[in-house]
Structure 1
Amino acid sequence: MSATPDIAEFIADPGVDLSWQDSFHTWMHEHPELSEQEEQTAAQILSRLSQLDCEVTHDIGGHGITAVWRNGEGPTVLYRADIDALPVTEATGAPYASKNPGVMHACGHDVHTTALLGLCEIMDARRDVWSGTFIALFQPAEEVTKGASAMIDDGLAEKIPAPEVCLGLHIYPGPVGTVYSAPGPVMAACDTITVTLHGVSAHASAPQNSVDPTYLAAMIVVRLQGIVGREIAAEDFGVVSVGTLSAGHTNNTIPDTATLVLNCRFYDAAVRDRTYAAIERVVQAECAASGTPAPADIVYSAHGELTDNDPAVHEVVRPVLDEVFGADSVDAPRWTASEDFSEIPRHFGVPYEFLLVGMTDRAQWDAAVAADRVAQDIPSNHSADFLPAAGTVEAATGAATAAVLAYLWKE
């Protein structure tokens, strides 16, 4: 479907009252809930959906929700938003800061949810401008990369029509109102790797009687950095970060175990596989060098697939984004963060596009760029200072609407 000027005009003024989005977003930001605990968030979403004429299914894979609108002949399009928050203590000082101590919407899922609900209101009220089937999917537990697979395992495919294309977006640091899109990889694949090292405990005064897993863990940490630095080509991307190193509980005892938890990210499956083989080689070789009583236990978890936008979908969506956002529709850079969004279209065997939307006040962004201090002055996702600027919800709603109408708009 080609872009038409009518879509831009419609999105600028869809004739639907979305003023409620401010209070809904405020409520979500004030009441964040951790992954797999999104009970009140789901209740608020269901309350809004109950006012619309759609087929709602809830409690899918936990607190997952779907809503389906059938409106004549045309494609079936699924749009997904995530609803969970993070174990972060908010430091924004906003008047609507989190009221749940130690929990915060530090990644913008409150914006994603509010934008999708706005899109639902538009699709419900303006059936005259579109034709086909629209599916809204509200996904829990994205932050622990469990929500998409949980909904799939709970029979998602039997609860909704099979989509022909899947869409979604994420806000991130960039000038508010800017919409980023690109074909190919836009977000990294990721895994958590937990390594348990087995040693021999002894009194700290007699290290010769031990096989010290703390010393072994330190050697492994150093060697792991050499994998990226010496075994991955300069033109390839890979991250191996040690997020946790734990061993022992007292100062006078050499423990019998140590644990490393790694976070790894890639844009290419072949690079990932070579890196994981190297990690296992290094870990077990260091264990052999230290004479451990047993090889290390290596467990993979929190898997997130590469977010790899389909070029054909991009050719449909991008012209509409350009029409709607003009100069603020730009090419997306690759982002090293990861998402489980792509598990849904991969389960259905359909293509997808995942967009990025800027959330930073433009004056703040321009000043940081001019001073070459973006990394220092612009709070990133998962930061205690992360707070989307005014206009972010509106931009996200517009981008979501544009992407869906790229397929469902009546010419």
Structure 2
Amino acid sequence: MDTLLKTHIPTLTPYEKIYKNLHQNPGLSLQETLAASVAASRLQSLSGFDVRTEIGGTGLIGILKGEGKGDGRTVLVRADTDALPVEELTGLEYASKKREVDVEDGVKKPVMHACGHDMHVACMLAAATTLHSARKEWSGTLIVLFQPNEERAGGAKAMIADGLYTKHGCPLPDVVLGQHVMPFPAGTVGTKVGSFASAADSFRVTVYGRGGHASQPHRTIDPVIIAAHIVVRLQTVVSREVDPREAAVVTVGSVQAGQTENIIASEALLKINVRTVTPETRERVLAAIKRIVKAECEASGSPKEPLWESTSQFPFTVNDKDTTEHVSKTFEKYFGDKFDPEAHPLGGSEDFPILATEVPHKDGKGKGVPYCYWTFGGVDPGKFEDAKKRGKLQEEVPINHSAYFAPVIQPTMKTGVEALVVGALSFLGR
């Protein structure tokens, strides 16, 4: 493995340029045209890659057959491509200053790769190049998949619904692999068997009042007060209704009501996000939220029932035992003490598992194949250790979705490329 990587991994300077270009020119969910174009162009330049585009929007795949002895297995590796509506504050020379109209709501917004998907794309392209160069040394089928709209939990579903494994002829994988850059020391890699990322449920909840003049509140029902009570009361769901040994997060990320200070509005909108790690807790928390919202509306004399609109749902990410143990043994051998086989689960959520759980079985009976998801670090190791020693990790190390999040390019990219290549080769015949 070491020899293969040393022999075939390309110089990463061109991929650093790709990364900077994507970082400076991000695309919101459903608008990832540059990332898709760059990925397709690069894969098409590699002889032997069968590239298929416009799958579920801007999604695409590249299929490459190994030329080694034996049949080998079929391995799918995935990178996500979308950015976030965040105004970048990193101060980098290649920082995004882009603003674009979000197709979801028609509002012009600042755009930033605040979750590292630009790094994912660059790493995947360099890994694809490496495996292409080494194709005589492995057998089987490699599928590199670039997925749009991960941030809103729609991309994997859209690719499946558009016929990824049927109409678009993607070979049915035996295993699905993926990774994510995180605010850990660059050069490190981690995964674990079992639960590795939370489920997420997001809602828009509209509560109703009776509007009127601010000088006559007795003739109104104030939805802002209803919303305020809901926000405060929801804080007790995790602290008083969830087993302390379980993990759950309830966030009210947005409250919107009214246009001016002297008018009591007729309705208020709350945007709620829920993260849970077990089905039982998920069911309990969602039921508690609905109970509280309903009760607060009734307590305030709301004229009608609140309106619930689901905006996104992420599944649980549960790494397959055998697959993850196999990856862990390979990573431990390659990365040594830089690999953690008992890494902390992600606080965030992923739609990555859908690409595995929706794979039709080759015998036509049922669906689903095993998968493994891992993380790799993106923070300058020296700065990380210094902040850790001073107890300043939370204050000084930006997390994903922060306006200050930007992975140090190296050794982050090198590690991400190596992890993808090593992970894929561990399943491809040699």
- With the shorter chain as reference, the TM-score category is over 0.9
TM-score (ref. length: structure 2): 0.91
Residue 80 of structure 2 aligns to which amino acid in structure 1? D
The CA deviation at 1:22 is: 1.7
Q: In the alignment, what sits opposite 1:4?
A: none
From 224, 227, 240, the counterpart of 1:230: 240
What is the distance in 2 between the residues matched to 1:192 and 1:123?
38
Do 1:248 and 1:254's aligned partners in 2 also have CA atoms closer than 8 Å? yes
The CA deviation at 1:10 is: 2.3
The CA deviation at 1:12 is: 4.0
Q: In the alignment, what sits opposite 1:356?
A: 375
The CA deviation at 1:16 is: 4.0
Which stretch shifts more, 117-126 or 96-105? 96-105
Q: What does residue range 157-172 of structure 1 map to in structure 2 within 5 Å?
A: 157-158=165-166, 159=168, 160-172=170-182
Residue 148 of structure 1 aligns to which amino acid in structure 2? A
What is the distance in 2 between the residues matched to 1:376 and 1:57?
43
Q: Secondary structure at the residue paired with 1:196?
A: strand
The CA deviation at 1:346 is: 1.2
Do 1:243 and 1:261's aligned partners in 2 also have CA atoms closer than 8 Å? yes
The CA deviation at 1:15 is: 5.3
1:328 aligns with 2:338: yes
Do 2:276 and 2:282's aligned partners in 1 also have CA atoms closer than 8 Å? yes
Q: In the alignment, what sits opposite 1:307?
A: 317
Where does the alignment leave 5 or more consecutive residues of structure 1 unmatched? Answer: 1-6
Q: In the alignment, what sits opposite 2:413?
A: 393
Q: In the alignment, what sits opposite 1:59?
A: 54
Q: Secondary structure at the residue paired with 1:407?
A: coil
Residue 272 of structure 1 aligns to which amino acid in structure 2? R
Superposed CA deviations along residues 332-385 of structure 1, whole A, max 9, x for unmatched, are 101211111111111111110111000110110110110011010111111121
The CA deviation at 1:136 is: 0.5
The CA deviation at 1:140 is: 0.8
Residue 27 of structure 1 aligns to which amino acid in structure 2? N
What is the distance in 2 between the residues matched to 1:385 and 1:315?
34
From 102, 106, 125, the counterpart of 2:114: 106
Q: In the alignment, what sits opposite 1:3?
A: none
Q: What does residue range 129-208 of structure 1 map to in structure 2 within 5 Å?
A: 129-158=137-166, 159=168, 160-208=170-218
Q: What does residue range 219-368 of structure 1 map to in structure 2 within 5 Å?
A: 219-330=229-340, 331-348=342-359, 349-368=368-387
The CA deviation at 1:50 is: 1.2
Identity %: 39
Q: In the alignment, what sits opposite 2:91?
A: 93
The CA deviation at 1:17 is: 4.5
Q: In the alignment, what sits opposite 1:373?
A: 392
What is the distance in 2 between the residues matched to 1:181 and 1:97?
30
Do 2:88 and 2:97's aligned partners in 1 also have CA atoms closer than 8 Å? no
Do 1:88 and 1:103's aligned partners in 2 also have CA atoms closer than 8 Å? yes
CA-based RMSD: 1.3
Do 1:8 and 1:323's aligned partners in 2 also have CA atoms closer than 8 Å? no
What is the distance in 2 between the residues matched to 1:322 and 1:259?
49
Q: What does residue range 41-52 of structure 1 map to in structure 2 within 5 Å?
A: 41-52=35-46
Do 2:138 and 2:428's aligned partners in 1 also have CA atoms closer than 8 Å? yes
Q: What count of residue pairs does the alignment treat as equivalent? A: 404
TM-score (ref. length: structure 1): 0.95
Where does the alignment leave 5 or more consecutive residues of structure 2 unmatched? Answer: 100-109, 360-367
Q: Secondary structure at the residue paired with 1:303?
A: strand
What is the distance in 1 between the residues matched to 2:236 and 2:97?
43
Superposed CA deviations along residues 63-87 of structure 1, whole A, max 9, x for unmatched, are 0010111236111110000111112
Change in 2 beyond 3 A, CA 1:231/1:15: closer
Residue 94 of structure 1 aligns to which amino acid in structure 2? L
What is the distance in 2 between the residues matched to 1:238 and 1:161?
37
Q: Secondary structure at the residue paired with 1:81?
A: strand
Runs of 4+ residues deviating >6 angstroms: none
Do 2:330 and 2:423's aligned partners in 1 also have CA atoms closer than 8 Å? yes
The CA deviation at 1:298 is: 1.5
